[in-house]
Amino acid sequence: MGVIAVILLAGLLGPLLATWRRLPLPIVIGEIVGGILVGPQVLGLVDPNDQIVRLLHDTGFALLMFTVGLHLRLHDPALRRALPRASLACAVTAVFAFPIAWILAELTNVQNVGAIAVVLATSSAAIALPVLSDSTGKDLPPQLAGLAAWIVVADVVTIVALPLVTAQSSVWTVLFASLAVTIIALLALVLLRFMAKSRLYLRVAQLSKEKGWGLEMRIALILLFALAWVGPQLGTSMLVAGFAAGLAVSAFGVSSRLTTQLVGIGEGFLIPAFFVVLGTELDPAGLFEVDSLILLAGLVAGTIIVHLVGGTAAGYRPAYGLIASAQMGVPLALVTLGRGEGWFAGGEASAFVAAAMISVGISAIGARRVGKSLQLRLGVPQDLKPVE
């Protein structure tokens, strides 16, 4: 139990750095740095190969991908109307990502061009949309539905593509396994909707609300961990399983009560534990090797370039491209898969994680520009914060 306490204590570095007034950092940065400090590279308090530590890592990773799926409101009519323009931006982004990925593969030890291209082209709805909401007000303004659609489409497509480009077995095996997991998630959604209409469920749900049983959260976690077990058995990763479970629960309907419960168990325990354990696996010294520095610079510059080009081709403002360049789930999933399969060295993994961290800051810069512009158009004085 002591190792769990150490991991949670290291995770507190995230909130501490995030409240630093001079340079507030995304909470994930502090959590990963905390993992580096308690890991084998510094203090040696946490062994990333320990069975309990691996369990925390895998559980947190599954829940992270679950929350990514949970954030995507694919049933939103505004998002559906913006799909053609968003799809064009994603397509152009992907086309320009491949030549940059090829150059990086030639200059570094990472030879998987497809994996690099997927990371360059991805976006993170779980990161970008909250950052955008913080800059513009409590809710995402309807004027930004097109940008939200671009981010969502890029997020979904790259999450689906990542297991295919990193497949160690047949691509068809991974494709059919991912499809099977998606079908199981859809069947679970149909079952949940049918069950939600029964008198027994309504009665138990009401008692759960009155007595604090957490029925919705229990059902969501059962679905998540069942798919996280089935996915690898069929030949795909927990990335697809967790994401599919999140989408299913999102489509079923996410109440504020369920969101609060999941935030409690996720953001308060398992997801920070995942980031801390991820930090224990990184080699910070390896980041300063020539190959790692080239990879880091190429990932940061390439991500900005492809999103600016893709956004411009679809008629989006340059600031939108900066916002859409936010990454987190896909590069961290790539690092997790690469470390698990043994084809990532510490310096290369550190470069992908560092690039993802930098992308969050770039996204925040774009969001501030959009927020100020929107306030001016709506006639909101710049010295006043949006009313919440």
State the alpha helices, DSSP H only, in 137-253: 145-165, 171-196, 199-211, 215-234, 238-252
pLDDT digits (tens, 9 = 90+) for 97-138: 999 999 999 998 888 899 999 999 998 877 777 666 655 555
Say whether pLDDT at 27 is over 70. Answer: yes
pLDDT value at residue 49: 86
Q: Averaged over 248-258, what is the pLDDT?
A: 69
- Would you say residue 381 has pLDDT above 50? no
**57: its two tokens:** 């890592």
pTM: 0.77
What integer pLDDT is reported at residue 382 of this predicted model? 39
Is the pLDDT at 239 greater than 50? The verdict is yes
Measure Cα distances from 38 to 12, 26, 34, 349, 363 in Å: 12, 20, 6, 18, 29
Q: pLDDT at residue 11 above 80?
A: yes
pLDDT tens for each residue of 185-235: 888 888 888 887 888 888 888 888 788 777 878 888 888 888 888 888 887
Report the range of poorest mean pLDDT among 20-29, 228-237, 270-279, 377-386: 377-386
Q: What is the reported pLDDT for 35?
A: 92
Average pLDDT, the chain: 81
- In which band, very low, low, confident or very high, does the pLDDT at 17 lie, cut at 50, 70 and 90? confident
Per 3-state DSSP, the chain is made up of helix, strand and coil in percentages (nearest 5) of: 80, 0, 20
Give me the mean pLDDT over the 276-292 stretch. 86
